[in-house]
Structure 1
Amino acid sequence: MRYHLWRFFYTSLLYLLIPLLIVRLIWRGFYARAYWQRWGERFGFFPVMSPQTPFIWIHAVSFGEMQAAIPLIQLLRTDYPNIPILVTTMTPTGSQRVRAVFGDSVAHVYLPYDFPDAWQRFFQRIGKPRLLILMETELWVNLIAACEQRHIPVFLANARLSARSARGYQRIRGLISPTLQKLTLIAAQNMEDAERFMVLGVNPEQVHVTGSIKFDLHLPEQLTEQANLLRAQWGENRPVWIAASTHSGEEALLLRVFAQVRQVLPTALLILVPRHPERFNQVAQYCEQQGFVICRRSQKNRGDLTTDVYFGDTMGELLLLYACADISVVGGSFVPVGGHNPLEPAALGLPIITGEYVFNFSDIYKQLIKIGVAQQFKHEAEVANALCDWLTNPAHCQEVGRKARDFIHKNRGALFRLYHLITPWL
């Protein structure tokens, strides 16, 4: 009874928030026009797509989760070519990644907001899937309840639960615990994540520790060659560092760091890649206002000796830009966002610098810091000093790179562990 009351208040609050959801879509649309499109899908209105064969449904909220889901989707398409796949996302960047990688070979719509009537319309249009795979920690209360009513198995894949999120969920335990208990299986990234789920009331038999499938990333064969060709345009022997997936407030800090680095290394070049495309123009203008000569990747100009900042304003090319760098600074960590994935630069053998806020990847960062692949700092002077130390010591960088690649290699295999948990249900 307590759960039904919690769910009633949760659902009522959602309906009251509809005007704010609309305002948010309008506001975000000023920066990314795609937010003004396909509103019907967000409320369960789209053309009927019920396939003759029950399909596999995978939900990846945004670009990062979609990127992690790609190898899993590719495996499923190879081994089960006759089973259709539906991929849902919440953001335009996630949607664009689906289409860029898979084209029309998978079905795709936005995931509706968590309204019971939206789920009713959604399932009327898609039929009954074989199973739902939720990437990372997407806990939509009414969605999971709707799947339980229709006897649809729900898997939480590559699941992570930070200590901060777990404390928040404890405050609404009456809602979250029954929701988690409805899940068929939770594939947690590590034992700490698994234990937090169990503290919230999940049956230990539901939880499996599989590792993070982000360790199983695939590096394209031509990546190094492409990176060398691009880097050659900037001039030989220039020290290059990348600041990737940056958020508001971080670019200003990192450009001040860059100014300090150039006092020691005047030819140094910065590759700057903001996290969200709706901020590209704003950040590019800020760089120019600070007196830096920038070259925008989207303008097909590769840059030259006069380029100070090579600006990554395209989607799906972060691996290439990492491959162009000597050192990586991973954003979302100098402001309280929680940090972003450090495994991509590690797989490419790059030393990693991060800020203090890494709760999204706390376990991975602990291991990277312990083996000397990553360093964590609070202040910009510390970041500048570390960059100068690494950029002037290539032999040390090579040794760190070897440790980083070994770390990735030793932790591979999560994708197949997850895959073998899913396939019996197919």
Structure 2
Amino acid sequence: MARRVPLSLARALYSVLAWAAQPLLRRKLRRRALAEPGYGLAVAERFGHYTPADLGQDGRGQWIWIHSVSLGETRAAAILIRALREILPGMRLLLTHSTATGREEGARLLEGAGGKADLQVWLPWDTLAATRSFIAQFRPAVGVLMETEIWPNLIAGCANAGIPLALANARLNEKSEAGALRMAPIARPAYGALAAVWAQTEDDARRLRHVGAQVDAVLGNLKFDVRPDEAQLARAAGWRPKLAKPVVLLASSREGEEALLLERLKVLGAAAHAVQWLIVPRHPQRFDVVAQLIAEAGFTLSRRSAWGDALAEPQADIWLGDSLGEMPLYYGLAAAALMGGSFEPLGGQNLIEALACATPVVLGPHTFNFSQASEQAVQAGAALRSADMAAAVQDAMALVQDGPRLAAAQARAGEFMQQHRGAARATAQAIVALMR
């Protein structure tokens, strides 16, 4: 269990800076809300003010609190929550987020679960006052931070209040490790005050220990236990016979990657039209930007938002997946996927969701966010590694036009996923044990 954490000089200075930054945070939220209205929702919660005054009071001492900062973490949290409900059917869930996409995904998760006793709020800014208010308001039975989230005052406050707080599905890449070591007077006590840390891989565990965490176990990656939306996969299966050519998806693309793809397609000319290209940007605020890039590159465009419920195979050089929560549909349509975030030095996005839909993946050179899963998938034949975007386009086109090779890669994707399942159940059991 976590020990009591005194207010050190380093954390006191950090707390002063966090307090002083509040006006800047308010201004940032106002600006972000112009593009993403979710950032303008319940702003007072960000500063520890929860209304009505008794919000959450009747759940004190009962909440199982899970913090998932953004979209990817919320999807991982959904897998863990499902496993927790199997063990604790009557549990009361408190779900917190830091980004608008995370909160929107969380709202869909709670609506689908139908848990009327569940609650969703923003995680407060990490000032002493706001975190104390949050802890006093909800007093959870146990807290779980997903993957990488470390907030010194929040962690210290939970430790001092006797609330066990764990870091689940924990990962730490080399860049983040270096950053934590630079901030050691703040980071090391925060990691050390966690009641439990459950790492994804042995490499993550080694780096976490190096920055001060007491790693209790290596339980694997929750995302291997993902269950893609069956309705979306069924819709994709119904649409596929209408396709005149195989679909290659650039999935969860980040800034700069769409331009790399478009540049390569222009070089290929007519040869690029042997497949149907589909781009799904990682961030919804970039949908219009990417649409403009496609048009300026001289390609015709069809947007998912204009399709409705039936695919009449929109006639366009490139399709744009401008919808939220439909990645299983896009992966189901695609014969292969280029993994976004891996063609710029961003660490790569989650390839596991694609493999769960039996969609082989082509990876760029930058996959440090999912290094072990990426290497294992390549070794298993469920993924390919390409040197850059130009090579990835060629590799993907060759794969989807070779029927036997594509079928083998799809089968290996399914086998790979099956071999790595089990983290969700193990993590849920560890949370229940920690709570008790």
**What TM-score do you get using the length of structure 2 for normalisation?**
0.91
Q: 1:111-190, aligned counterparts within 5 Å?
A: 111-126=123-138, 128-190=139-201
Q: How does 1:247-326 map to 2 (within 5 A)?
A: 247-260=254-267, 263-301=270-308, 302-304=311-313, 306-326=315-335
Q: Counterpart of 2:67 in structure 1: which amino acid?
A: H
State which of 218, 221, 230 in structure 2 corresponds to 1:212.
221
Contact 1:327 1:387 in 2 (8 A): yes
Alpha-carbon offset, residue 52 of structure 1: 4.4
Q: Match for residue 96 of structure 2?
A: 88
SS in 2 for 1:270: strand
Shift of 1:309: 1.9
Contact 2:278/2:318 (CA < 8 Å) preserved in 1? yes
Amino acid in structure 2 at the alignment position of 1:351: P
Secondary structure, counterpart of 1:51 in structure 2: helix
8 Å Cα contact 1:11/1:115 also seen in 2: yes
Partner Cα distance (1:52, 1:219) in 2? 31
Q: Residue 29 in 1 paired to residue 33 in 2?
A: yes
CA 1:261–1:226: 2 relative to 1, 3 Å: farther
Identical counterparts, % of pairs: 33
Distance 1:81 1:379 in 2: 47
CA displacement 1:246-265 (0-9 Å, x = unmatched): 11111111122333455325
For structure 2, which runs of at least 5 residues remain unmatched after alignment?
A: none
- For residues 163-190 of structure 1, what are the alpha-carbon distances to aligned partners after superposition, in whole Å with 9 as ceiling and x for unaligned? 2211111112222121111111111001
Shift of 1:408: 0.9
Q: Is the contact between residue 19 and residue 127 of structure 2 (CA under 8 Å) also seen in structure 1?
A: yes
Residue in 1 that maps onto 2:58: 51
Q: Which runs of 5+ in 1 are unaligned?
A: none
Q: Using the TM superposition, give the Cα deviation of residue 134 of structure 1 relative to its aligned residue in structure 2, in angstroms.
A: 0.7
CA distance in 1, matches of 2:352, 2:312: 27
Q: Is the 8 A contact 1:322 1:348 kept in 2?
A: yes
Matches within 5 A, 1:219-238: 219-233=228-242, 235-236=243-244, 238=245
Stretch of structure 1 that moved more, 2-11 or 380-389: 2-11
**C-alpha separation in 2, matches of 1:78 and 1:371:** 31
Q: Is the 8 A contact 2:66 2:143 kept in 1?
A: yes
Structure 2 CA distance for partners of 1:191 and 1:394, relative to 1, 3 Å: same
Q: State the Cα distance separating 1:222 from its structure 2 match.
A: 4.0
TM-superposed deviation, 1:57: 0.5
Tell me by how many angstroms 1:78 deviates.
4.0
How far did residue 278 of structure 1 move? 1.1
Q: Pick from 377, 383, 395 the counterpart of residue 386 of structure 2.
A: 377
Following the alignment from structure 1 to structure 2, what is the Cα–Cα distance between the partners of residues 27 and 353?
A: 36
> What's the TM-score, normalizing by structure 1?
0.93
Question: Residue type of the partner of 2:12?
Answer: F
Displacement over 6 Å in runs of 4+: none
Helix, strand or coil at the partner of 1:30: helix
Shift of residue 3, structure 1, vs aligned partner:
7.2
> Which deviates more from structure 2 when the two are superposed, residues 70-79 or residues 138-147?
70-79
**1:232, CA displacement in angstroms?**
4.1
Partner of 2:119: 107
Conserved? CA contact 2:79–2:223, under 8 Å: no
Q: Bigger shift: 10-19 or 164-173?
A: 10-19
Partner residue, 1:415: 424
Conserved? CA contact 1:332–1:357, under 8 Å: yes
**What are the within-5 Å matches in structure 2 for residues 3-42 of structure 1?**
4-42=8-46
Q: Which amino acid aligns with 1:270?
A: W
Deviations 1:209-255 (A, max 9, x none): 0000100011344444310223345x33x021001111111111112
Q: Return the offset for 1:272.
A: 0.9
Deviation at 1:285, TM superposition (A): 2.2
Deviations 1:386-417 (A, max 9, x none): 12211221211111122221111111011111
Which whole-Å CA distance do the structure 2 matches of 1:367 and 1:344 have between them?
A: 15
Shift in Å at residue 20 of structure 1?
2.8
CA distance in 2 between counterparts of 1:132 and 1:279 reads 33
